[in-house]
Structure 1
């Protein structure tokens, strides 16, 4: 059934990682066995490269598609491909986001997560509960330790000059309905950017035409592979293009219904080592 499989790509949150945003020992070992069988393994995530490294316990993937495809890195972490948002679009989007409190960050090609200093107080009230995004407490870690905070004027100057090349804008709110009008406004720049999501509480703004699949095609070219030789594991809207193009689309049991429609195979729930079980029972044991 999987005789053509040569590359397996994994979304992280809600897929490879459990509910505690950890790569369990069972998943680690299953991935090791799959890689030892000759299959290339690539992370395909909305996270930055640095954030993607935190929960994988030193596992050596063969490549990384990060920020939903806006950055692509080889096994050694060397950046080999990137796409940036237009400075003018970002500057106008910031004015939209500052109209009311939203948690938002800018991610650049160096995996730096930027925040605007003037908005810290408002955002702090928004995240007074211990909310976790990508397994990182917004309040205790992302807000205070993981992000680089600069004045608005400096942020705009860095973007305008190209000193910071922004590959993704991440927007979060505890009430999903509050994101609807924001998405409508951000879609005004649909000619230069795309909007996707890794969950109902966030929006992820990336350069036009960028996707996890577009990032994975770098590795297909590098290793001489066709789409029919690629397996993609995913669960959310930002996995749509990769699941639609991969010859073996594997959707998690916990995925949203619209993404499950893309499945050729269903893997068990991510909180029950679903990826590990699928690899062991369906791929390595021949189904």
Structure 2
């Protein structure tokens, strides 16, 4: 077994590794690179599309698989190898499309790492600005429901999302993994998907034991990974549910919290 304290480091992006401007701070970047130089595997674990994580993969100089779509996809970009890909049943996708249309809420529909929307609007533009994702308006998302999506995501006001989560979470819990990341997102993935299960699969792929895995996160969608890892770390800005399962609380994401913890556990200064 390696002498490293942790051999696999799982990093959520938004509100965890990234600062308020959605950038990797110099201290976080330097610390991640030092961990990789020591031999640790560093992986991105995000609710984002695979393609919108790649700028951060490149910035950190990583050549490891990316966990995206909250664990529905694990793909190694440089080799093209797909280690895991699960999709939502088309019948459920159609039901969600029709429900969102009836409720008048914006819906993102993700197929083959491409983002389709019915039409542009304030919530579509908010998502695009936040993630740099390209949007493809199609008019009626029902035209796509013969194609199984990796994920569906509602964007609305925090108050509306809270209401919809309370109503739709229980309603679809036996057919989909329903969770939140940002306060204005409600996300639907295939049943059984989670960042925790994806992280466990990736650790097994590398032959790394659970106790040698550290996972950082802040939101409800990070809870399974934080709970599973040998050392689960929630940010100071994390949701109460994430803090409740964490073994350690890191400083705020805007205060280089990832670097602070990694510097300590790997034994080098900032």
Common topology (TM > 0.5): yes
1:26 paired residue number: 27
1:268 paired residue number: 251
Q: Is the 8 A contact 1:42 1:65 kept in 2?
A: yes
Residue 159 (str. 1) matches residue 142 (str. 2) = no
CA distance in 2, matches of 1:219, 1:185: 30
CA distance in 2, matches of 1:179, 1:252: 22
Cα distance change of structure 1 residues 55 and 43 upon mapping to structure 2, 3 Å threshold? closer
Secondary structure at the aligned position of 2:150 is classed as strand
1:96 paired residue number: 99
Structure 2: state its 5+ residue gaps: none
Residue 73 (str. 1) matches residue 75 (str. 2) = yes
Secondary structure at the aligned position of 1:9 is classed as strand
CA distance in 2, matches of 1:192, 1:231: 30
CA distance in 1, matches of 2:161, 2:144: 29
1:5 paired residue number: 6
1:248 paired residue number: 231
Aligned residue-pair number? 266
Q: Is the 8 A contact 1:6 1:229 kept in 2?
A: yes
CA distance in 1, matches of 2:32, 2:237: 20
Name the stretch that deviates more: 272-281 or 82-91: 272-281
**CA-CA distance at 1:279 after TM superposition:** 1.6
**CA-CA distance at 1:102 after TM superposition:** 2.1
What's the Cα RMSD here? 2.5
Q: How does 1:33-112 map to 2 (within 5 A)?
A: 33-61=34-62, 62-76=64-78, 77-108=80-111, 110-112=112-114
Cα distance change of structure 1 residues 210 and 71 upon mapping to structure 2, 3 Å threshold? same
1:137 paired residue number: 129
**CA-CA distance at 1:226 after TM superposition:** 2.0
Q: Is the 8 A contact 1:96 1:185 kept in 2?
A: no
CA distance in 2, matches of 1:228, 1:92: 41
> How high is the TM-score relative to the length of structure 1?
0.84
Secondary structure at the aligned position of 1:198 is classed as coil
**CA-CA distance at 1:273 after TM superposition:** 1.4
Deviation digits for residues 215-262 of structure 1 (CA, Å, limit 9, x no counterpart): 112221211122111100000100111111111001111112221111
CA distance in 1, matches of 2:61, 2:145: 33
Q: Is the 8 A contact 2:234 2:246 kept in 1?
A: yes
Q: Is the 8 A contact 1:174 1:201 kept in 2?
A: yes
Candidates 136, 153, 175, aligned match of 1:170: 153
CA distance in 2, matches of 1:228, 1:238: 21
1:209 paired residue number: 192
CA distance in 2, matches of 1:104, 1:221: 34
**CA-CA distance at 1:179 after TM superposition:** 4.2
Secondary structure at the aligned position of 1:48 is classed as coil
Q: How does 1:217-232 map to 2 (within 5 A)?
A: 217-232=200-215
Cα distance change of structure 1 residues 228 and 202 upon mapping to structure 2, 3 Å threshold? same
Deviation digits for residues 118-152 of structure 1 (CA, Å, limit 9, x no counterpart): xx4xxx2x549x74x4xx426x965xxx1111132
Secondary structure at the aligned position of 1:29 is classed as helix
**CA-CA distance at 1:275 after TM superposition:** 0.9
